[in-house]
Structure 1
Amino acid sequence: MAGYMRTAVLMAAMTALFMGVGWMLGGGAGAVIALVVAAAMNLVTWWNSDRMVLRMHGARRAEGGGAEALRRLVADLAADAGMPAPAVYLIDSDQPNAFATGRSPDRAAVAVTSGLLRHLDREEIAAVVAHELAHIRNRDTLVMTITASFAGAISMLANFALFFGGRRDSPLGLVGVIAMMILAPLAAGLVQMAISRAREYEADRVGAEICGNPLWLAAALQRIQGLALRIDNNSAERNPGSAHMFIINPLHAHRYDTLFSTHPRTEGRVAALHEMARAAQGSAAGPWA
């Protein structure tokens, strides 16, 4: 519950930032217009988020006999999680990675790269899929897509305001206006990172419960992290705004991409999963004892 409250507060902060930039552009009327635009933008995102992200990464439906094992695995884990089976997509990339998208558990998709199927064993793949199912069940997919839209819109408005000078009669003065226009996108990025990082830890915890063993997910995260350092994900490099949706930052291949990472450190996530396994082993009724 605390995690959901934190996410709600951060989403409110993102909305306030958007309205603040609108106010700097047009005063009270600008703030109201920004709020209306935000509502419309979120509605469009809610309706089209899954198709937009899948198209962005060239994902295709997992069809044919070769994909049967993956579809069956996803369906079995979804049944264990008590949720509808999402659609399954494949992305042609040698970097092992995965993400989930969709506005609700009834309209959701899990996309995995071809590299994930090549480089990970079945238990690790199951753990990755379970992590993505946790995002769907927690409705993180919609939240993270909306925050990415907000961050992009705030940056666009800030650039617009800098170009036209913002409100010259602002009580903050021209210097204050310029400072806010520079700092607002940075603040939006920080809020987006905070939301994404909080949801990753929760999805790790729930995903470990769904797949039945936290150590499977810990091993998968370490393997993906190591390979992502060496293998490019070209579609993610072209669309860095979607990087926060992947289980591991797909932009690790380039040093500058780690400057504002939307993911918590893999070492911390692995440590939390190992602690989860130890706690279960210490309990007589623990499922992994």
Structure 2
Amino acid sequence: MSKLVVVFHTLSFIIGNLLGTSYSIHLFYRSIAEKKFDTIFPAFIGVLIINLPVIIVPVLSSSITNNDDLGSNNWFSNTLFYLIFFGVGLKWTKSWWGYLVELESDNSSNTLPNEGAILFPNTKLKEAIYELCSSAGMLDVELYLCREKQINGYAKARLIGPKSIVISEGCLHLEWEEIAAIIGHEIVHLRLKDTTALSALWRIIGVLTIIFVFIGYMLLLELLYYLFPLIGNLFGIISLPIVLMYEIGMLTFMIIDNRRYWYQIQELRADRLSCQLPGVTLEGAIKVLKKLKAQEDNLFENLSWYQKLFLRYFIVTEHPSIDRRISLLEKYKKWSLIDYIIHYFQITKWFFFGRGWNGR
């Protein structure tokens, strides 16, 4: 029986570490097949390091199963250690994934040079962008150009200090209404301090709000029971299952990792609010998102299954699915508090139905 338990402990780790194992073997095989001798040895080291615990886990498992003090002879203890070894496998993959990505970038001839942003040249486009910023009340912003061929844009700011918007060279080939949509999106981020430490404070306030809403609900329910027993019972029966599902689920999600949810909320909110800015059109926002989707699809299709799975579940992604963003803009409604709840259920649905945290 103890040998069988050791086998299952080892299998639990192997399953948890499957993505790292697959990626490392793929890179090693690719280096040999393409005769890239400068990366064969680092790729081989990657295979050894990522799979080394497969030798260690059986030894560790044997010591656990032979130790009566750990209570390893009952089903609960064994199940607990299966989960522990599976979790260690996941963590081991995540710890070494950066090394594999860096190794693949060295092995790829398609990697773009990482060049810094420069001040945006004095052109009519720059004047038009500054006029858009001015009409939105954003007067103290610097504009930069990033030498990147892909369509991209982002904002940078401190709580007190200079603000900047960076767009890539890939944006220069867009129509004006598409560029305006990108700039408007970043203006909203700057207005709402999404790129500053204040956003982390809002996340904490969000979690506390969830707790206090639940406490308030329970107090209201108790008051109704006391004053109007019949109404209180009906109200509790109808609403309690929904509220409990929302509150417990949201709290669990926040405790596990609240960053993905709040980052995606910031993006969805910026999409919606930017369309209310003067000079930014809903049509322009949808058009540029569709081009971003085609760009993302092209990059995503070239990834292996284990890379896709890792990106869906392990990487902290700021942006939700572009399909979701387009769909919400096509059914445009003003941003409201209900959108926070809707997106919680959406991201939970993505997670449990194989689409990761961002629905990609």
| TM-score normalized with structure 2 length | 0.40
Highest RCO, 1 vs 2 (Cα 8 Å, sep ≥ 6): 1
Larger radius of gyration, structure 1 or 2?
2
